[in-house]
Amino acid sequence: MTKNFEIAVFQGDGIGPEITGPTVDILTRMAAASSAYSLTFVDAPAGAQHYAETGESFPAASMEVAKKSDAILLSAMGLPNVRYADGTEISPQIDLRKALTLFAGVRPVTVKAGQRTPLNMPEGKEIDFVLIRESTEGLFYTQGKGEVTENEARETLLITRDISEKLFKFTFELARARKASGRGSARVTCVDKANVFRAFAFFRDLFDAEAAKHPDLNADHAYVDATALWMVQKPWEFDVMVTENMFGDILSDLGAGLMGGLGLAPSADIGLDHAVFQPCHGSAPDIAGQGVANPFAMILSAAMMLDWLGIKHENRGLVADGKRLREAVEDVVAQGRVLTRDLGGTAGTQDAAKAVLDTLFVS
């Protein structure tokens, strides 16, 4: 019997609804063509616009929809001019990360032959690595609760055994899945600052303990500053990297830069039971409502969702469609004919999404 999966959809703010519509259309077409699975989409209102209209940024009913769903697809949340009374931004995606313990922030970085990148790529080289950012603790532990007095400000960095062990297990399993699918060099790199901070020496020890359970994979370490340098000088040498929350926050934007911008950077926040799939970019209010937003990061995030659901539920059709969808976007980008403005083209959101659909179903 065809298994149905319920997808919670947060359309979000700014360009959010513009990129969500075509992404859901593509998923609907793919599911309709598959005998392996079907998808049901359930709308979950939340975000800055919702707060402005109703006084509620994340209704309990939307959290319930997220918790009950098989996977969560989220576009972008937040608007610079809509804030809580204390001046902080509205970011239900961070509430979701905490509420559902989504400890592994997965940020794939790929640059295929022909793709625009600020790097001078040596002939024949392509970039294909995954950065895993711990997403529930680290230097974000005291987010919004830091102590500030007239002369001092303090935040706390927390590394726990429990979350680190889950994170590293997830990381090695992901590296093994990549190896099995013919991607990557089976290398797992722990990115830290263990030479300076005891907390990172602890992080590294826990990484080494997990690495010892995976003799078929190559584990090594790198300091975060050197990693930033190597991500620019020889990014093709990385396969899977795992790091603390703040280091990962910074390095994942560097990774998006390598890909030629945020418009191509997908992401997933994954825990033991739930996962949120969301582009790395924000709600881009400067271009909202113009129909020019790049939908590719969102579509690539949806491809990651199909892959994750497929692996979790041992559904080959989903895994195959996740790969097919990712490759369709990569083809459209490599051909360079239908690109949005941020990638140097003139296409609108709908044209770009249609080019992906045409690649999937016509050619």
Binding site for ligand ATP (CB under 6 A): 15, 78, 262-263, 281-284, 286-287, 293-294, 297, 340, 342
Residue nearest to ligand ATP (CB): 282
H helices then E strands: how many in the chain?
11, 12
Closer CB to ligand ATP, residue 94 or residue 163?
Answer: 94
Nearer to ligand ATP, 286 or 314 (CB): 286
In whole angstroms, how close is the CB of 101 to ligand ATP at the nearest point? 22
Distance CA 347, CA 338 (A): 6
DSSP 264: G
Category of 124 on φ-ψ map: left (φ > 0), alpha (ψ -120 to 50) or beta: left
Residue of 225, 223, 239 whose CA lies nearest to 191: 223
CB of 50 to ligand ATP, least distance (A): 16
CB of 70 to ligand ATP, least distance (A): 25
We find the least distance from the C-beta atom of residue 108 to ligand ATP, in angstroms, to be 16
Which residue, 221 or 354, is less far from ligand ATP as judged by CB? Answer: 354
Nearest CB to ligand ATP, comparing residues 210 and 342: 342
The two structure tokens encoding residue 344:
């140097």
Nearest distance from residue 18's CB to ligand ATP, in Å?
9
Strands 275-277 and 71-74, how do they pair? parallel
Amino acid at 108: P
Q: CB–CB of 4/40 below 8 Å?
A: yes
To ligand ATP, the closest distance from the beta carbon of 283 in angstroms equals 5
Which of 5/58 has CB closer to ligand ATP? 58
Question: C-alpha angle 357/327/323, rounded to 5°?
Answer: 100
The nearer residue to ligand ATP, 262 or 320, going by C-beta atoms, is 262
DSSP strand pairing (104-111 vs 268-270): antiparallel
Look up tokens 């055994």; give the residue. 161
Q: Are 175 and 187 contacting, i.e. CB atoms less than 8 angstroms apart?
A: yes
Nearer Cβ to ligand ATP (9/159): 9
H-type alpha helices, 100-244: 161-180, 198-211, 224-233
| Smallest separation (angstroms) from ligand ATP to the CB of 38 | 28
